[in-house]
Structure 1
């Protein structure tokens, strides 16, 4: 989707009028800046909640939400573009190949460069790994968590009353699970396991931290002291560095370890009930039997429920999605065939770099490109000539190119990363 088509003619005209100002000596100490003729307050990735863009009070919340969403989407798109470009370059040059391509890549635009390196990465995978055997990829889905408080703070500025009570009107998490802070016990729906950070009355899958001087049963990685279990004395540290015994610290169980009761604090998945200890709250994604407060939307799309302007609310949601904390997926690779030194070099490069590529493909992807289009389409809500000061118009001229670039950057990144993903069957 070409997001430039989502702008109205009036907005495009405003951007065209403001852009010459932006390129004519707009530094913080410039006379133009001091007279409000250029915008130095709009910064990619910055917190703009306290910025005065010099617009009429009737559109102040709208304008700030539009600016914040554009800044956040731009920062995420720029980061993804850089990460995927670096990942594809590393794969393309694994084992010393394509080292003569750096000068050629330097002549290209950022958007062309990501495609250039990812095409070379696909060619490298095909010429080495696929030519020598078969590749099996297992990708654990990446998890992204969008902050409820950040979205609510933005939404509160969308109306004159300045209110957005997420406790009274809880938001929803479409396609994912809402993580909450629960002051009592938290149980999973329909008897499934519950994501838990607290006490677990059943078995814990993830990490278990010892409490009150009592060590925890451990078969995996121990961050602390590992002792032999049962009546045996001495260390429980195995030849590979893992622990099998008792851990005085935090134990992260191995994938093959049997599930055990966590006599401490569980951080992961609990098979029964996640309970608060000593008056503290727990973090979970199940049903709370006491006071609950939404924290973040995990693996889905955050939808606020505050009664505010629809376009302003959409911009706030876009901002929250852009700032979501994403954990790169775990990628397991199994190669069957003639494992030469060259093949192993490429496989090692894949193990290290595929997580950043799959993060874009599986967690950001087309949905992120569509977010930029939505924000761009909402821009007409802040284009009110009578309500824009000279500074407001100048800032609008800075924001417009930023959101357009964010969409095209992410579009190019998603396309390039998708080629690599398809080449390995991810």
Structure 2
């Protein structure tokens, strides 16, 4: 088995160390924000020293000790009060560092209900994912100063809300977990199909989302939705090598070389999908994982069980209504009943404000019109879709489809 790199080790340890500091020092002024800054200041020298000098015997204890000292220095600098110094100066020796992994608690804190999805996503990647502000800004194509301000405001809102570092009870816990999974889902989607920029795929975000869902699954292995989300990510991520050409152009699912799909990842995803479907209550991630599993089980595109895919989308549409679900069901319906049926279902989305001007609606309609033999209509909608997307990879693909169906002038 490949040994983890120092970078991998630090990324795994960062949320654990931050959780330890927040648990011990979160009650003091600047709690979460101060602890997060202290951990980052401890990670930086570790990233420099450990590759050159070797990883210490107790890397977690090393980081906790260094980060605790940084936090103490901050308190001294900011308050200069002996009683607070004394309260925070007691350091646990490395051997006394608790073994508990607080990654899930940190995710609950970063996905606080007072935060927007964008703020929770940025804070999660910074505090739990260990990415720098510059890395997050590059991933979302915004200036570093803009991302820094977003993260700072998120920390301030958490502090103002008087959040505690612990798992909420009952219904609140379920709702907070739902928000956590949604944020991780958004991170993965942005990594797997970048919404803008020249690259179709941002591997760092997709891998980070998978890593964080694995951390949640390790603590909640019996939760069907956690298993379902991990299965969905693995089954989707398994196609990454076949999704683009050597030049970075998009390859649609039905044209991909399935021998290039990651078999080990598929096998793991199928097992997780099966486990998530065995739960008493089916959730949206379990159903999406079942759909991805149906595609993964087909050795060739023409062998896909589209009737099953459509049936699963019908159930998903009932329990979690969403225009994107209806959009995907229209594609499955086309495969089972023909393009006229798919176009009829697609027309029900025309009055949905959430889909107004959305390039996905235009591109799917173009595809179905092409299937129906309406090349003029397909050409027009492919062109509209290409103009509406901010992803250059998708734009190139849609423009190439438009050229293929462009009506010939006599």
Tell me if TM exceeds 0.5: no
Rg comparison, structure with higher value: 1
Q: Which has the higher helix share?
A: 2
Q: Which has the higher contact order (CA 8 A, sep 6+)?
A: 1
Task: Report the TM-score range of the alignment, normalised by the length of the smaller protein.
Answer: under 0.3
Q: Which has the higher strand share?
A: 1
TM-score by length of 2: 0.24
